[in-house]
């Protein structure tokens, strides 16, 4: 069994203590972990979803823009952060796996570790209340 990189392990440990919803993916975009606050927004416990490929998580929440138009996966902040290795930000709607439509704001950054190793990405998001 291969072990995750230490930066990713520490990121998971950190976000498991945060009240802010956070989503962590590996360099291929595979979902590695989201924390309990994220479970409330995404509508399902991480233990139930487990690791998820990028083509799955980028569509399963049915992201739509402010006018209700579907957002293509490559326009999502986390996908931009992974593909362009830069921070990205966006505000859009998702439908949680509990069926609830939620307005969210997302900031995503690539994880660049020691020796410039590219290790994946992190998306921090929160529900828009106003």
* Residue with smaller CB distance to other proteins, 115 or 130: 115
From 55, 114, 121, 122, residue interacting with other proteins (rule: CB under 8 A): 114
State yes or no: residue 14 binds other proteins (CB under 8 A): yes
**CA–CA dist 93, 71 (Å, integer):** 9
Binding span for other proteins by CB under 8 A among 61-69, 79-87, 89-97, 108-116: 108-116
User: What residues does 89 pair with on adjacent strands?
Assistant: 107
State yes or no: residue 10 binds other proteins (CB under 8 A): yes
Q: What is the SS3 assignment for 10-68?
A: HHHHHHCCCCCCEEEECCCCCEEEECHHHHHHHCCCHHHHCCECHHHHHHHCCCECCCC
From 44, 83, 113, 126, residue interacting with other proteins (rule: CB under 8 A): 113
* Residue with smaller CB distance to other proteins, 1 or 19: 1
End-to-end CA distance of the chain, in Å? 45
From 19, 48, 50, 115, residue interacting with other proteins (rule: CB under 8 A): 115
* Residue with smaller CB distance to other proteins, 47 or 66: 47
State yes or no: residue 85 binds other proteins (CB under 8 A): no
Q: Cβ distance 19 to 26 under 8 Å?
A: no
User: What residues does 7 pair with on adjacent strands?
Assistant: none
From 53, 117, 118, 128, residue interacting with other proteins (rule: CB under 8 A): 117
């Amino acid at each position: 069994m291969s072990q995750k990189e230490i930066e990713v392990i520490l990121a998971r440990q950190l976000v498991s203590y945060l009240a802010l919803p956070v989503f962590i993916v590996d360099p291929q975009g595979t979902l590695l972990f989201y924390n309990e606050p994220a479970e409330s927004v995404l509508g399902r416990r991480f233990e139930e979803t487990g690791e998820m490929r990028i083509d799955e998580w980028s569509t399963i929440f049915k992201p739509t823009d402010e006018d209700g138009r579907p957002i293509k996966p490559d326009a999502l902040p986390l996908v931009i952060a992974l593909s362009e290795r830069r921070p990205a930000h966006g505000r859009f709607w998702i439908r949680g796996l509990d069926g609830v439509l939620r307005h969210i704001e997302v900031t995503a950054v690539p994880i660049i570790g020691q020796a410039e190793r590219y290790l994946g990405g992190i998306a921090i998001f929160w529900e828009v209340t106003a």
